[in-house]
Chains A and B, each alone.
Chain A
């Protein structure tokens, strides 16, 4: 029995509608708190890891081993004066960081978190189209970036926005096509050869993914990984921020907690994209005894991916915008098409 139904039973005296509402609410909060905590742990690890690569010590002042540094930083960020640029488009300026943050956080509740021994299935959403929903929500994020960048009325922000949009668009299409290949491969069981429903839901894909799809279509994994790096906009694809050229791109004129929201969006996106890759290509919560510890498998896979992302982040310089767009349209798009054809052939003949 899933955790959702359990909570629903506890609150069944409220009536079906209200008890489901309470159940969804409580479970979302539990999952989000857990994700947030592991996310904070990852940022701490990232800073220590980065410091080690750069022959520094990293945070070590606040708390034991600098463990409270992040909380101190968050408090500092909250306490900072919110400086508003003159001539801004007020509504759009204030709403943009919220859009970015909420869209990123919202995407987390759609993930199939797998099972954990006593609690049962941890997935919050039991929709049949979570894959579509997920990418729908992810496509909201550029709206926040555009609103934030253009409403600031600063040339740096304007250029940063244009770059961010060019970046998102030129890698959105290869990403979607490689996801389409996943949907095709998972539409048919490669054990029995029967058609399977549920190919558009992330938990359905994980359920069919007895062999990780990364092994079946490594090209798709590569394309998806690069596209997700581009979407999460960290180095070498951090063109939206490009701190050396455009200071901070579309976030230049944001200060205090409004910048913090963008920051949460950025790091959340790194984490989310690692989750998506491990769900779609690395078998998600699958593994031996996955009815008891599937959740832990998913987290281990994700954390390894995040650490790989961090290594890329600190090691690789920023690519130039024209080369970047070239990469998206001239190489990734044809490759993703080829991957789609390969997936079709795989489903039809190889299985």
Chain B
């Protein structure tokens, strides 16, 4: 018995030693344009996010041991692809803002930092106090454009353009065709997004409405379709906010077989009245999944539906 234990330990030790020889190289490419923010905000993000979301990865001694090393390496590779604070200038200004809001939401919902990572890297933990600092920072970025004439002009331009009159319906790269009928559907909810100054209506098809009525929404049944339309906010001096220029319509289509690779949901977004499909390659859906991931216990749906 003792012999077996010794042999097993030797074999395991050997495997462990051989594993150390295989190490994908983790490089720190040059920092092209580092993200800037007030020191207390920056220090939280550096501590909690920079190891995987910057070119300034700081590997601890225990990160260097395989198999941890490979896991950490994958985290860094994936992390930099989604968000890289060291190449901040590669994002357009509105995208920078959107990324920050998304990041703080990922933290608030507990999706980031990844649990296995923060378990080992205790210093990456974002406390309630840290979160408050981050949220206050974002709140300070909210700008209200009262009586904004340029937004009014954008709407007028859209009224007078013939965009969208083409008979062929646009199609997104994952094969989802624009569904014009959403305008005849019922409303699942509305939403004011003060992070990006838009008003939204979330429409649901009959299957979605019935699912809400029967509390059958986790998971949502196959055939469910949501259409979320977004417009600019137009605010007057009395605080009345109405819809301005049309920004986009986004769909979520539940079909567990057809969209099995994207957790049963087909995602699509069509922008401006010209209904330009979003995404340069079919991999755009990964972006959708990443953002919706914190809702994995809610079948990836953010909306709290209104029963009506």
Q: Do A and B come from one complex?
A: no
* A contact residues vs B (CB 8 Å cutoff): none
B residues sitting closer than 8 Å to A (CB atoms) are none
